[in-house]
Amino acid sequence: MLFSYGTLQQPDVQKATFGRLLSGRPDSLPAYQLAMLAIDDPAVVETSGKTHHPIVSHTGSPADTVAGSVLAITAEELRNSDRYEVAAYRRQRVVLASGTLAWAYVDARDAPTSTTQ
Count of the separate structural domains present in the chain: 1
* Residue 77 maps to a domain: yes
Q: What is the pLDDT of residue 113?
A: 66
**For residue 86, how many other CB atoms are within 10 A of its CB?**
16
* Residue 45 maps to a domain: yes
CATH code (residue 68):
3.10.490.10
Q: What is the dihedral of CA 71, 26, 39, 13, to 10 degrees?
A: 50
Render pLDDT for 38-80 as a digit per residue (tens, 0 to 9): 888 898 888 888 888 889 999 999 899 999 999 999 999 999 9
* Residue 117 maps to a domain: no
Q: What is the dihedral of CA 100, 73, 67, 94, to 10 degrees?
A: 40
* Residue 115 maps to a domain: no
Q: What is the pLDDT of residue 59?
A: 94
Render pLDDT for 26-48 as a digit per residue (tens, 0 to 9): 999 999 999 988 888 898 888 88
The whole-model pTM stands at: 0.84
Q: Please give the Cα distance from 93 to 65 (Å, whole number).
A: 16
Domain limits at 67?
2-107
* Residue 96 maps to a domain: yes
